[in-house]
Structure 1
Amino acid sequence: MKLRIIAKYSIDGVTDGECIWEEKQDQFGTVEKTTKFSGEVLVEFQKDWSLFVERILSQNPSREEFLEKLGKKSDSLEQIVFGNSNPFWRSPGFRGSIQILVDPEFSSLPWEILRTHRGFLFQDSEFRRGIRITFIQKENLQRTNGILLVCNPVKTNLISSVTEECKSLYPILETKLPLRILKENNLTRVRFIEETNSVKYLHYAGHTEKKGIPLGEKDFLNTNDLAVHSFSNLNLVFINSCYSSFDSYEQSGLTTSFLKAGAKEVIGFLFPVESSLAKEIGIKFWKYFLSSKNSHKSITKIRKSLYKGSAKEIITAISLVHFSTQKQTNIYKRIIGITVVLLFLFFFIVFSDNRKEPIKVENLDTLEPTTVAERKTKEQVVLQKDVLLNRISQLKNPEFRKMAFSFLKTKHEFLDDSQKRELLETIFSKENSEEKMYYEFKTRSGF
C-alpha cells in the first residue's frame, strides 16, 4: 500500500503537508483518505530529532533507555502527521507491504521510526521508501556492468577509515564486476560525471555535505548539478557518508539528486554516522548484494544486525535509508523455475504419447452428461413408481392386483412404460370402488 506525503505551500511561506493513502472500508470499499499537517510543527520536530541523534551518538545510552525515547519520538511524529487518524499499518489485520513516497521537502524526516503493529517501519523487510518527482529522466543507453568506487575522505580524520573501506572493497568488487576507481586526487567534476555515466553501480566512500560532494578544498559538485544529468544507467548507488540522504526546503540531498537523475535505487544516511560503522556497513552490503543480487534483502540483513546492538547502532539502522519502490525478484531463480516446468511438461508429453494405445472408435460408448433437470426427472419417476407400486399392493382384489403388476412388467403393443403408469394413476385417482376401477382397467388396458 502506498502512502504519499505531499508538500503544500501555505500563505505564510511555510511548507505544510498532506498525507494521502487508499484504504478499504466495509461500507464504501476502497476509499482515499487524507490528513493535513503543519509544516512549522514538522520543522520543529526535525530540529528536535537532530539534537536527539547527536545526543545518542555522543552519550550512547543503554538500549532500554534509547528504545523508550525512540517510542516517544515515534508517537510524536505520528501525532503531528496523522492527528486523530489511525495509520492503516497500525491495524492488527494489516498484512500488505508499505511504500512511502515523499516530496523532497519532507524526505529528511525519519519516517522509518513510525510504528506498525509489529514494531517500527525500519524493522519491516517489506517497507519501501521513494520520492515524488515532476519529470521522467531520459534514458541513458551507455550502460555496462561495471562499478565505480569513489574514495574521497576530504577530512584528515576520515583518511584511515575510507582507505580501509576502499582496500576491503577492492577485491570484493573486482572479482565480480569491471571496477573503476576515482581517488581524491583525481576527483574532478568532469571525471566524476564521465565515469558515472558509463557504469551500472556506484559506491561513494568518504565525506559529503548537505550541499553536495566536496571536490578539493573549495569546490563542490552541487546536488542541483547532479539532478540535471541523466544517470538512468545506474541501477544502484550507495553514498556511504553523513547526511547523504538529507533534504531541506532549500535544496535536494544527494540521494534525491541521483534519483532525479534517473538512478533506480539509492542508499544513504539521513544523519551523521560513525566512520567505523559506515565502513563496516559498506563492506557488508556489497558482500551480501553481490551474492544475492537483492538490495532489499541485503539492507534488511544489515538493519537486523544493527538493531541487535547498542543505541548508536540502532540509530544508524534508522539513518540508513534505501530509496526504492521496486520489488526485486531473483532472475536466476525465475529462469531455473521456468526451465524445470518446461522440462517436466516435455517429458510428460513424450512419455504420455508412448503409453497411449490406439482407440477403437466402434467400441466407444457415448455417455451424455446427466443434467440437473434429467436427474430431477429420474428422481421423480422413481418416487412416482414407488407410490404406484404401493397403491397396487394395497388392492384387495388379488386378481386385479396380479394383473396390474403384470401390466407394468409386460411389454404392451401400444403403450410404453410411462403411458402404462399414467393409465393406472388416472384410474387410481378417481374415487371409485375397486370393482369399477378393475373394470375400467381391463377396458382401457386391453388385458
Structure 2
Amino acid sequence: MIKIRILAKYSYKNNFTEFPDAEIFIEDQENLKGGVEEIRVVSGALIKNYIKEWNVYVKRILILKQNSPDDLLVDKEIQSKLIKKSNSLKSLLFQNLEPFGSIHKLNSSRPILFVTDPEFAAVPYEILPSNKNLLYKNNPVIRQIRSERVEKSRHKKKGILLVSNFHENKIITESVKEECYKIKEILSSKFKEDDLISLSDRNLTRSRFLEELPNISYLHYAGHSERSGIQFSDGEMLTDTEIGKLGLGNLKIVFFNSCFSGFHSKEIVGLAAAFLKSGATHFIGYSQQVSSDVAKFIGVRFWNKFLTGVAIEKIIFEMRKEISEKFGEGETATFTLCHFGPEFRKDKWFVSRKLFISALALFMALIAGSYLLWKNFNTGDVTNVAYRDIIKNSKSDAAGKIPLNENFENNPKSSKNLSGNKFHKAFKRNRKYPNYENDIFEEVKIEQPAEVSKSKDSVTRTVKKENPPSISKPYIPKNLKEMISEIKSPQLKNAVEKFLNEEHTLIGFEVRKRIVQDILQLDENEDFKYYQFKNKTGFSN
C-alpha cells in the first residue's frame, strides 16, 4: 500500500486566516530511500482555486448527464476534460516527485491511501493519473481524516439499521423506497428478523435514530441529508458535531447514500468525519451530488456484494467499473464515490481461507502420493512378492527339494537371520511388461545357513516356464495388432510400431498402448490420426 499524507502547513505570515499551504508526504515501503523522507510543499492558494474550479466543473457534468444520459459523445467529451483536470492536479500536487511515479507500475490490487487534513479533503484524489489512466480505474482508493478526537472502544453488535428519509420530491421518494425494499430483501437472508431494523416516514425521528445507533453494526441511510447533519421529517436536526461526540465503536460500516455525505472541510465537519470520529470503522458516501437512479443502483449492488465476503476496498473498486458500464464513463459517481476506512489489511476470513486452501492442497497431495506408492507396490518389482512366489511354488512342488527354515517361511522379511542366504535372481515379476498372463520365472539359487550348509539338502534348482514369451519386444494384444495391420499410411504405421517397440523414458508401455488404441479408434482419416499421434506422443521422425 502507498500512503500519501497531505497536511495543512500554517505559517506566521498568514496568521491562520488564509488558506494554508499543503505539505505532502509519500510513504511507500517498497521505495524507501535511506533515512530521508521526501516531502513537497504546495501553495494553498493554488489548491483552493483548483477546488473552486472543480466544483463548477462537476455541476456542469451533472447538467449534461441529466439532459443526455445515454449520449456517448457527451461521455467522451466529459472524459477528455477529466483527463486534463487529472494532469493539472498531478502537476499541482506532485510534479515530478519520484515516489508517486511508482504507482504507475502497480497492478490494480494495490490500494492507495490518502490521509488529509480537512482543508484538503475536497480535492478529487480519485482522478489522479495512474498508468496512462485515471487512478480510480486502476487502483482501490481509500481516504482517511486527521482528528484530535476519535472513539477507540469497540462493541460487538449484530444488527443493521435501514433508514429511509423521504424527500419532498416524489421521484426521489419512490427511488428511496425501492432501494430500501430491495436491500431489505437481500439482507433478510443473512440477518435475523430482530436484527434487521427499518426506520422511515413517521418512525424516523431524532430520538428513535439515536436510540438504535448503539445497538447495530451496520447503517444504511437512503434519502436526503445536509452537509452538516441530518434533517428529520418532524423538523428536528442532528448535527455532525453532535454525531462526532457519540461513542459509536460498534459501527463497522456506515453507508450514507445521499448527496455530499462524504464532504469534509475546515468549516464543516461533515457526516463522514463525524461518524469516523465517533468510532465507525468504514464510511461510504459522496463528495458531490448524486442522482437517485445511480444511488439506488450503488446501494443495492454494495450490500449484494458485501454478503459474498468481498473486502470493502475491492467492492468499491469493482462498483466504479459497473457504474461506468451502466451509466456511461461521464457519470460523476464513478469518481465522487468516497470510501473512508483503515489501512488495507487482509481480513481474518481472507487469511483463514488461504490457510484452508493450502491445507486442502497439501492433503490432496498426500493422498495422491500415497496412491502412487500403493500402485507402484502392487505393480512393481517388490522383493516380498518374489519371496511369496518362492514359498508358494516350493510348497506346491511335489518333489519338495527346496528346504526352507521354519522361521523364514513364517516371516519372509527375516532372511537377514540366514547368514548365508543370497537371492541372486528371485522369481521376479517382469516390471517393464506387466501384461503377461503369468510371471516369468528365472534361475534361483538358495544357500542354507552355515550349520546346514554341508547338508545334502543344499540344492540348486532351476525353474523355467515352457516357451516363455520373447522379451525383445513387448506383448501387444491381438486386437491392437489387427488395428495396426489395417493402417494404410506407411508413415503412421512405422511411427506407431516404433513408438510401441522402443523403450520410452517417460511413458510406460501400458500408457503407450492406450494412447495408440485411442488414436486408432478415432473416426477420422489417417492424416488426422498421424497429427493427433504426434501431438500426444511428441513423436518426430
Give the TM-score normalised by the residue count of structure 1. 0.72
Query: Superposed, which structure 2 residues align to 1:139-178 within 5 Å?
Result: 139-141=153-155, 143-157=156-170, 158-177=172-191, 178=195
Query: Superposed, which structure 2 residues align to 1:213-228 within 5 Å?
Result: 213-216=230-233, 218-228=235-245
Structure 2 residue 311 is the aligned partner of structure 1 residue 276: no
Shift of 1:81: 2.1
Shift of 1:57: 1.0
23-32 or 299-308, larger mean C-alpha shift: 23-32
1:18 alignment partner, one of 5, 19, 23: 23
User: Which residue matches 2:112?
Assistant: 98
Structure 2 residue 281 is the aligned partner of structure 1 residue 264: yes
Give the direction of change, closer, same or farther, for the CA distance of 1:330–1:85 in structure 2 (3 Å limit).
closer
2-structure distance, mates of 1:232, 1:324:
13
For structure 1, the 5+ residue unaligned runs are 356-447
2:80 alignment partner, one of 35, 51, 68: 68
Do the aligned partners of 2:31 and 2:99 also contact (CA within 8 Å) in 1?
A: no
Matching residue's letter, 1:155: E
2-structure distance, mates of 1:100, 1:319:
15
Structure 2 residue 218 is the aligned partner of structure 1 residue 201: yes
Structure ranking higher on relative contact order (CA contacts 8 Å, 6+ apart): 1
Structure 2 residue 147 is the aligned partner of structure 1 residue 133: yes
Query: Superposed, which structure 2 residues align to 1:256-405 within 5 Å?
Result: 256-310=273-327, 314-327=331-344, 329=346, 331-332=348-349, 334-339=351-356, 344=362
Do the aligned partners of 2:140 and 2:316 also contact (CA within 8 Å) in 1?
A: no
Per-residue Cα deviation, 1:139-176 (whole angstroms, up to 9, x for no partner):
142x3221110110233242111111111111111221
Give the TM-score normalised by the residue count of structure 2. 0.60
2-structure distance, mates of 1:108, 1:135:
21
Give the direction of change, closer, same or farther, for the CA distance of 1:339–1:55 in structure 2 (3 Å limit).
closer
Shift of 1:26: 9.2
Structure 2 residue 37 is the aligned partner of structure 1 residue 32: yes
Per-residue Cα deviation, 1:384-431 (whole angstroms, up to 9, x for no partner):
xxxxxxxxxxxxxxxxxxxxxxxxxxxxxxxxxxxxxxxxxxxxxxxx
Shift of 1:311: 5.3
2-structure distance, mates of 1:25, 1:288:
31
Per-residue Cα deviation, 1:343-373 (whole angstroms, up to 9, x for no partner):
7579969x99xx9xxxxxxxxxxxxxxxxxx
Do the aligned partners of 1:23 and 1:30 also contact (CA within 8 Å) in 2?
A: no
Shift of 1:198: 0.9
Structure 2 residue 53 is the aligned partner of structure 1 residue 48: yes
Shift of 1:71: 1.1
Shift of 1:315: 1.5
1-structure distance, mates of 2:162, 2:60:
32
Shift of 1:91: 6.1
Per-residue Cα deviation, 1:78-104 (whole angstroms, up to 9, x for no partner):
232224535614664456542111122
Per-residue Cα deviation, 1:236-266 (whole angstroms, up to 9, x for no partner):
1110000000112212111111111111111
Do the aligned partners of 1:57 and 1:312 also contact (CA within 8 Å) in 2?
A: no
Name the Cα RMSD after superposition.
3.2
Give the direction of change, closer, same or farther, for the CA distance of 1:55–1:339 in structure 2 (3 Å limit).
closer
